[in-house]
C-alpha cells in the first residue's frame, strides 16, 4: 500500500506512514515487556530498534533462536507450521516458533509484521481509529463467481454457524467485524478478550471462509433425516460422525490440513457440525412435549406437527 495520497488504502486514510508510526509508538509505550501482536511478541530494544519473536520464545536467549536482521525473512517464517505444513491462513494460531527478527527500524518492523500477518497491522490501526471499512457477507457473496458463485444461497443461520466454525479463536485470531448484512447480525456470542494485546479486526470474509462456505452449502442442501437425540442430519454428516469417532479411537484426529474441506475430519468441518448440534435444544421427557406451539427451531424426531 502506498503512502501517496491518491493511492492510499481504504483502511488507512491517514496513509501507511501514520499507521506505521502508531504501531511503533504503541510498542514503545509498553516498555521492555513489549506487546503481544497475535502470536508475535514485539519489543523496543533501544535506539529506535525493534525485535520480533514468537510469544512462546519469550524466555529464550537469542543464541537459542534462528536470528535474522532481514525483515523479509518473516515471509519464510510465516509459510509453514512447526510441523512443516503449509499455512494457507496467516492469522491461524499456528505460527511456528524458534526465530527472532532483530535490529529492525520502524519501517522494517512494519514490513516484518506485514509478512507475518498480512494487512493485520493496518486493520489493527483502522480498528483503533474508527476507519475500518467493512464489507458484509451478502455483498462479498454476491461478488463470487464460477464454482464459488453459489455461496450467495447460504441461509442466514448457516452463515452464522459457518462463522462460528471458521472464524473462532481456535482457528483464526482475527475478530470478525462484518455481519450477514447491514440489518442482520452474525450474533457471535461468547468471544473473550483478543489473543494478545492487539485486537485485529477482520473487515471482510477471506478466501478461506468463501471456500468453507461452499462446503457448508453442500452439506446444507443435502436431504436430512431425523436422528434421535440430535439434529436431523444428512448422510454425509452421519458418516462424518462415524469418521470422527474412529479417528478419535485410533489417535489420528487433528492431522488434516486446514484448507482440505473435502476431508470430513477437517477441523472447521468438525466445528460446523458441533455448531449445528449445539444449536439444537436437548430433547425433553416424552411426557413434557408441548407439540402445539412448540418453540423449538429444530423439530424432534417423529414430531407429529411436521408434515
Ligand atoms: S473470514 Fe474468518 S477465517 Fe477469514 S480472516 Fe476473517 S475471521 Fe479469519
Give the pLDDT confidence score for residue 23 in this predicted structure.
Answer: 98
**Ligand 1 centroid vs 163 CA: distance in angstroms?**
8
Q: Which amino acid residue places its CA nearest to atom 6 of ligand 1? A: 202
Give the pLDDT confidence score for residue 1 in this predicted structure.
Answer: 39
Give the pLDDT confidence score for residue 8 in this predicted structure.
Answer: 44
Cell triple for 26: 504503541
Q: Which contacts qualify for 249-257: CB closer than 8 Å, 24 or more apart?
A: 257/85, 257/86, 257/88
Q: Which amino acid residue places its CA nearest to atom 3 of ligand 1? A: 167
**Ligand 1 centroid vs 258 CA: distance in angstroms?**
13
Cell triple for 156: 442466514
In short, whether 109's Cβ falls inside 6 Å of ligand 1 is no
Q: Are 200 and 256 in contact (CB under 8 A)?
A: no
Mutation to probe ligand 1, out of 188, 205, 210, 211 (largest number of atoms < 8 A from CB): 205
Atom of ligand 1 nearest to the CA of 212: 3
**Ligand 1 centroid vs 208 CA: distance in angstroms?**
7
CATH number among 1.10.1740.110, 3.10.620.30, 3.50.50.60, 3.30.1360.190, domain 5-129: 3.30.1360.190
In short, whether 113's Cβ falls inside 6 Å of ligand 1 is no
Atom of ligand 1 nearest to the CA of 176: 7
Atom of ligand 1 nearest to the CA of 208: 4
* Region label for 229, one of left (φ > 0), alpha (ψ between -120 and 50) or beta (otherwise): left
Ordered by start, the domain boundaries in the chain are 5-129, 137-279
DSSP structural state of residue 195: S
In short, whether 172's Cβ falls inside 6 Å of ligand 1 is yes
Q: Specify the residue for cell string 483502511.
A: 11
In short, whether 92's Cβ falls inside 6 Å of ligand 1 is no
Residue numbers of the chain with a pLDDT score lower than 70: 1-10, 189-191, 279-307
Q: How, if at all, do strands 99-104 and 66-68 pair?
A: parallel
Q: Which amino acid residue places its CA nearest to atom 2 of ligand 1? A: 167
Q: Are 163 and 198 in contact (CB under 8 A)?
A: no
> What global pTM score does this model have?
0.85
Nearest to 66, CA basis, from 110, 96, 40: 96
Q: pLDDT by residue (tens digit) across 194-210?
A: 778 999 999 999 999 99
Give the pLDDT confidence score for residue 229 in this predicted structure.
Answer: 81
Amino acid at each position: 500500500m502506498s503512502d501517496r495520497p491518491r493511492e492510499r488504502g481504504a483502511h488507512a486514510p491517514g496513509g501507511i506512514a501514520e499507521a506505521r508510526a502508531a504501531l511503533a509508538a504503541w510498542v514503545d509505550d509498553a516498555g521492555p515487556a513489549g506487546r503481544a501482536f497475535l502470536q508475535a511478541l514485539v519489543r523496543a530494544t533501544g535506539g529506535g530498534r525493534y525485535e520480533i519473536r514468537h510469544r512462546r520464545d519469550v524466555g529464550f536467549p537469542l543464541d537459542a533462536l534462528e536470528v535474522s536482521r532481514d525483515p523479509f525473512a518473516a515471509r519464510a517464517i510465516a509459510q509453514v507450521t512447526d510441523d512443516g505444513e503449509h499455512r494457507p491462513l496467516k492469522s491461524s494460531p499456528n505460527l511456528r516458533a524458534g526465530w527472532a527478527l532483530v535490529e529492525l527500524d520502524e519501517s522494517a518492523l512494519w514490513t516484518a509484521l506485514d509478512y507475518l500477518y498480512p494487512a493485520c497491522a493496518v486493520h489493527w490501526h483502522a480498528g483503533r481509529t474508527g476507519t475500518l471499512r467493512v464489507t458484509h457477507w451478502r455483498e462479498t457473496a454476491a461478488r463470487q463467481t464460477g464454482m464459488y458463485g453459489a455461496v450467495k444461497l447460504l441461509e442466514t443461520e448457516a452463515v452464522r454457524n459457518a462463522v462460528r466454525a471458521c472464524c473462532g479463536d481456535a482457528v483464526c485470531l482475527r475478530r470478525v467485524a462484518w455481519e450477514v448484512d447491514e440489518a442482520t447480525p452474525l450474533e457471535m456470542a461468547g468471544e473473550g478478550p483478543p489473543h494478545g494485546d492487539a485486537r485485529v479486526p477482520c473487515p471482510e470474509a477471506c478466501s478461506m471462509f468463501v471456500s468453507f462456505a461452499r462446503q457448508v452449502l453442500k452439506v446444507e442442501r443435502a436431504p436430512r433425516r431425523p436422528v434421535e437425540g440430535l439434529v436431523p442430519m444428512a448422510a454425509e454428516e452421519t458418516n462424518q460422525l462415524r469418521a470422527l469417532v474412529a479417528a478419535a479411537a485410533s489417535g489420528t484426529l487433528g492431522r488434516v490440513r486446514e484448507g482440505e474441506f473435502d476431508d470430513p475430519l477437517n477441523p472447521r468441518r468438525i466445528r460446523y457440525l458441533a455448531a449445528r448440534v449445539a444449536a439444537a435444544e436437548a430433547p425433553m421427557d416424552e411426557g413434557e412435549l408441548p407439540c402445539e406451539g412448540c418453540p423449538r427451531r429444530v423439530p424432534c424426531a417423529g414430531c407429529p406437527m411436521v408434515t
